[in-house]
């Protein structure tokens, strides 16, 4: 049973967490990430990883396959549990993979020897030397990086990239296509996550080259086939987690939020709603 008083948890010397509504959340001014860091969130992130393997029919879009086969060094910023790194490291045993995240939720099962995880708050900068990596990968950090921090993160990723190194970023955009009234409400309650539409311009401002930008509309519900069913399952885990902070930071009540969620999920097939994402990749 969860106490009504928040339980403080220290994962390391830098980041403080506490429990709210049974979920482990960051309670640290140096971190803007609003989603939990616990076993339920790990489950959601694994489903999300499987969804994007299905959508992309692979693990990345950048033209780095031959280099990965030969052996290069890769950094995953905000890697979460590390599902992407694990799958990449198995595919490319000659390459070295380093994943960093603010919370120790790293997977340990079936990890190949070319994987290393480090607890690092990327919002405070990257503690690596200039030109240390051949490929830098980042996804789903719009809920953790305000715009200014996101721009600085891109500069940091460029700094640690080797000349002609590759960068790839995948982000959610806070926009539903064909939204139900309930989804429209939820979109309005969430923080500004339109950063995904601005990534290409951020990369251009940082003097990246050969920028490619792909827009994806991911269906929500059975009408969208296997991706739609999987993404609905992800939404059933993600939106309640977002609600914890919505209720805390706005005038929305828990009853109102839960009722709106119920309406949103029940109307997904009727409205054939989808969520936008942007995948952007480039070269230094």
* 3 domain-assigned: no
Q: In the prediction, which pLDDT does 251 show?
A: 87
Secondary structure of residue 231 in the 3-state scheme? helix
Interhelix angle 254-266/181-189, rounded to 10 degrees, is: 130
Could you tell me if residue 70 is inside a domain?
yes
Residue 221 tokens, joined: 């519900």
271 found inside a domain: yes
Domain boundaries, position 29: 8-283
CATH of the domain at 176: 3.40.50.150
Percentage of residues in the chain with pLDDT exceeding 90?
64
The 10s digit of each residue's pLDDT in 101-152 is 988 889 988 899 999 999 998 988 999 999 999 999 999 988 778 888 899 9
Residue 14 is classified by DSSP as: S
* Span 48-90, pLDDT tens digits: 999 999 999 999 999 999 999 999 999 999 998 999 999 999 9
Point out which residues pair with 49 in neighbouring strands: none
50 in a domain, yes or no?
A: yes
Predicted model pTM: 0.85
Report how many domains make up the chain. 1
| Residue 131 placed within a domain | yes
In 3D space, the residue among 196, 141, 199, 143 whose CA is nearest the CA of residue 167 turns out to be: 199
Flag whether 1 is in a domain.
no
The yes-or-no verdict on residue 11 having pLDDT over 80 is no
Point out which residues pair with 170 in neighbouring strands: 139, 279
- Mean confidence (pLDDT) of the chain: 86
Write down the pLDDT at residue 247: 80
Residue 157 lies in a domain: yes
23 has a pLDDT exceeding 60: no
Residue 2 lies in a domain: no
A 10 A CB-CB count for 245 gives: 19
**pLDDT at residue 7 in the model:** 34
pLDDT at residue 192 tops 60: no
């Amino acid at each position: 049973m969860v106490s009504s008083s928040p339980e403080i948890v220290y994962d390391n010397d830098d980041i403080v967490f506490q429990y709210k509504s049974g979920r482990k959340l960051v309670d640290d001014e140096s971190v803007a990430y609003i989603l939990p860091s616990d076993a339920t969130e790990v489950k959601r992130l694994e489903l999300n990883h499987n969804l994007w393997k299905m959508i992309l029919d692979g693990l990345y879009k950048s033209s780095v396959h031959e280099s990965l086969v030969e052996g290069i060094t890769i950094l995953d910023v905000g890697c979460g549990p590390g599902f992407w790194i694990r799958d990449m490291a198995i595919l490319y045993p000659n390459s070295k993979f380093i994943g960093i995240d603010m919370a120790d939720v790293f997977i340990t099962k079936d990890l190949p020897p070319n994987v290393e995880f480090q607890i690092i708050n990327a919002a405070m900068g990257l503690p690596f030397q200039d030109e240390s990596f051949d490929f830098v990968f980042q996804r789903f950090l719009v809920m953790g990086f305000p715009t200014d921090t996101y721009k600085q993160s891109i500069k940091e990723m460029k700094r640690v990239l080797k000349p002609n190194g590759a960068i790839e970023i995948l982000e959610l955009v806070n926009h539903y296509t064909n939204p139900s009234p309930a989804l429209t409400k939820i979109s309005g309650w969430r923080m500004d996550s339109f950063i995904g539409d601005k990534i290409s311009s951020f990369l251009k401002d940082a003097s990246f080259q050969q920028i490619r930008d792909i827009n994806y509309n991911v269906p929500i519900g059975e009408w969208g086939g296997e991706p739609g069913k999987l993404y609905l399952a992800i939404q059933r885990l993600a939106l309640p987690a977002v609600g914890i902070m919505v209720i805390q930071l706005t005038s929305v009540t828990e009853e109102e939020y839960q009722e709106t969620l119920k309406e949103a999920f029940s109307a997904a097939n009727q409205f054939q709603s989808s969520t936008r994402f942007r995948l952007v990749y480039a070269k230094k």
